[in-house]
Amino acid sequence: MKQKPHILPTIIIAQFACTSPWFAGNTIVDELILKTGLGHEIMGWVLSSVQLGFIVGTLLFALLMIADRFSPSRVFMVCAFLAALCNLYLITDQMTKWSLLLARFGTGFFLAGIYPVGMKIAADYYEKGLGMALGFLVGALVLGTGFPYLINSTAWGSDPYRIIVATSTFTCLGGALMYFLVPDGPFLKKSLKVNLYSGPRLFKINAFRKAAFGYFGHMWELYAFWAFTPLAISFYNTLHGREILVPLWTGIIIGIGSISCGLGGIISEKIGSRKVAITALIISGICCLISPILFVLPPVLFLMVWSLWGFAVTADSPQLSKLVAASASADIKGTALTLATCIGFGITIVSIQLLSYLQDSIGINYLFLVLAIGPALGVWHLLKLKNV
């Protein structure tokens, strides 16, 4: 069935706009330290609270089968408005540690109605070519994640108020675009009632289980890599007396993953999503293993390899989501995506907090070795999955 030409671009733009609050708090971490009196350990807590909110949100959405029982576009819009409202709290002067963490938790909670629901909307429109559609869609998520860092590297970055207002405004606009321009898709099959056993039953499906564990390995590495990239660049600057612009290069390294998502989606139409995901996991796993060596390289080589890592670390994400979606029947496709995402983001909290704990004991240059566990786990499970 031929789709209207505006559908996929609209979903991509909305996904980009609505995921921009994800790292917004991390880009103004110095200002948040002044407001709350916390030290630099706040960065791990600020990101982990978003992740925890996202986990709770996706778990609740999965249990109640929200994306399968209600109009996904409407769910997307409502959650976008509420996420923007939580994000705006960061510019208030009356802030404590707990109110900050609660606001970031709320942002993550409502992002649960944006990221996996956006993928569900794409799946409702693209029965064929879903790998490519998700490639562009997750690429938009990646670009949206890096967007606050890119803003912070411009003249706007001197004003935290502008960063938060800009990301919140984009989020509201993205939610409105999705609701008004993307009606329910032709392959949408609603569930009429809640089935609390649908989640556990998914893990009895062999294809779902292997695809999900591949995704879990990917998530062990992804957000910890993103979260600690600014720290790695700062450490390199200190080690060599350099002045690499941390916000700019963090935004570039994260944002370049949007290209790999789209490219991986195109390639997946020829060789299959499984092969694309395995290749990306192998490359990023190798980068984990050679990461201590990168800190002794000249600046150009350091940034080139770190950018390659940013390119590879995201290329598998949409293809793994496609494998998860393909393993479930149409009436629980949204639940399958939401459940896998929920568990995957739970894993990100463990890896982020582990790296936060280890950074003072093993040194920044050895920190990223720990992340190699994820790609190894992912490849191991995907090798046993049929190529699709």
Domain ranges of the chain: 8-182+204-382
User: What is the pLDDT at residue 156?
Assistant: 65
Beta-carbon neighbour count of residue 384 at 10 Å? 11
259-290 burial, b for 16+ CB within 10 Å, e for fewer?
bbbbbbbebbeeebbbbbbbbbbbbbbebbee
Structure confidence by residue, pLDDT tens digits, 304-363: 999 999 999 999 998 998 899 888 777 777 778 878 888 888 898 899 889 988 887 888
User: What is the pLDDT at residue 280?
Assistant: 97
Rounded-to-integer distance, Cα 173 and Cα 312, Å: 30
- Does the pLDDT value for residue 83 go beyond 90? yes
Rounded-to-integer distance, Cα 187 and Cα 127, Å: 7
User: What is the pLDDT at residue 66?
Assistant: 79
User: What is the pLDDT at residue 82?
Assistant: 96
Residue 232 one-letter amino acid: A
Q: In which region does residue 74 sit, left (phi positive, over 0), alpha (psi from -120 to 50) or beta (all else)?
A: alpha
User: What is the pLDDT at residue 158?
Assistant: 65
Structure confidence by residue, pLDDT tens digits, 113-128: 998 888 788 878 876 7
For the chain, percent of residues with pLDDT exceeding 70? 87
Lowest mean pLDDT among 73-87, 182-196, 219-233: 182-196
User: What is the pLDDT at residue 93?
Assistant: 78
Q: Name the range with the highest mean pLDDT among 16-20, 150-154, 261-265, 334-338.
A: 261-265
Structure confidence by residue, pLDDT tens digits, 143-186: 777 777 777 767 666 677 788 888 899 999 999 999 999 887 66
Rounded-to-integer distance, Cα 151 and Cα 139, Å: 18
CATH entry, 8-182+204-382, from 2.130.10.10, 3.40.50.300, 1.10.287.3510, 1.20.1250.20: 1.20.1250.20
Nearest to 227 by CA among 339, 127, 103, 352: 352
User: What is the pLDDT at residue 180?
Assistant: 93
Beta-carbon neighbour count of residue 385 at 10 Å? 20
The more confident residue out of 129 and 50 is 50
The more confident residue out of 61 and 36 is 61
User: What is the pLDDT at residue 161?
Assistant: 79
User: What is the pLDDT at residue 186?
Assistant: 66
The answer to whether residues 319 and 263 touch, using CB atoms and an 8 Å cutoff, is: no
- Does the pLDDT value for residue 34 go beyond 70? no
* Residue carrying the six token digits 């935290």: 160
Mean per-residue pLDDT of the chain: 84
3-state secondary structure the chain: CCCCCCHHHHHHHHHHHHCCCCCHHHHCHHHHHHHHCCCCCHHHHHHHHHHHHHHHHHHHHHHHCHHHHCCHHHHHHHHHHHHHHHHHHHHCCCCCHHHHHHHHHHHHHHHCCCHHHHHHHHHHHCCCCHHHHHHHHHHHHHHHHHHHHHHHCCHHHHCHHHHHHHHHHHHHHHHHHHHHHCCCCCCCCCCCCCCCCHHHHHCCCHHHHHHHHHHHHHHHHHHHHHHHHHHHHHHHHHHHCCCCCHHHHHHHHHHCHHHHHHHHHHHHHHHCHHHHHHHHHHHHHHHHHHHHHHCCCCHHHHHHHHHHHHHHHHHCHHHHHHHHHHCCCHHHHHHHHHHHHHHHHHHHHHHHHHHHHHHHHHCHHHHHHHHHHHHHHHHHHHCCCCCC
- Does the pLDDT value for residue 91 go beyond 80? yes
Nearest to 332 by CA among 27, 68, 64: 68
- Does the pLDDT value for residue 190 go beyond 80? no
Q: pLDDT tier at 194 (50, 70, 90 boundaries)?
A: low
